[in-house]
């Protein structure tokens, strides 16, 4: 019986999700998706890298180009890494979208 009730509840919610969503957003307008303004006062990516992360990215690119004969970064990106320096803000955590660059994910993977 509990599975049957859950099935019908799920079916009704699935079929009428748009109407339910519209009703809820009329009652609570703050829940409307896309109505959020985020201003975190973030600096440019290249200006948020500390020296360790910047050097790591440069050495990784140089190693890929020399040993593997392969490019990861564009020339413009590499030159920006070499010429810019960290300013007022600092990126915390892993500085790339490479999932294996994070040691915790690397161990799990």
Domain ranges of the chain: 2-31, 45-108
Global confidence as pTM: 0.53
Give the integer Cα–Cα distance in Å for 104 and 101. Answer: 9
Phi, psi of 42 (to 5 degrees): -85, 145
The pLDDT value given to residue 72: 85
- Report yes or no: 107 and 80 within 8 Å, Cβ to Cβ: no
Give the integer Cα–Cα distance in Å for 15 and 12. Answer: 5
The pLDDT value given to residue 79: 92
Each residue of 6-49: pLDDT tens digit?
A: 999 999 999 999 999 899 989 988 877 776 676 777 788 888 88
Q: Estimate the crossing angle of helix 17-27 against helix 2-15, to 10 degrees.
A: 70
The whole-chain average pLDDT of the chain stands at 84
- Which region, left, alpha or beta, applies to residue 103 given φ > 0 means left and ψ of -120 to 50 means alpha? alpha
Give the integer Cα–Cα distance in Å for 79 and 57. Answer: 12
């Amino acid at each position: 019986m509990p599975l049957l009730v859950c099935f019908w509840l799920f079916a009704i919610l699935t079929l009428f999700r748009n109407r339910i969503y519209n009703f809820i957003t009329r009652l609570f307008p703050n829940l409307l998706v896309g109505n959020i303004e985020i201003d975190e006062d973030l600096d440019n990516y290249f200006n948020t890298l500390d020296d360790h992360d910047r050097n790591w990215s440069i050495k990784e690119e140089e190693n890929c180009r020399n040993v593997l004969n392969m490019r990861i970064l564009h020339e413009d990106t590499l030159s920006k890494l070499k010429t810019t320096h960290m300013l007022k803000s600092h990126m915390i955590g892993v500085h790339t979208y490479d999932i294996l660059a994070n040691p915790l994910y690397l161990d799990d993977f």
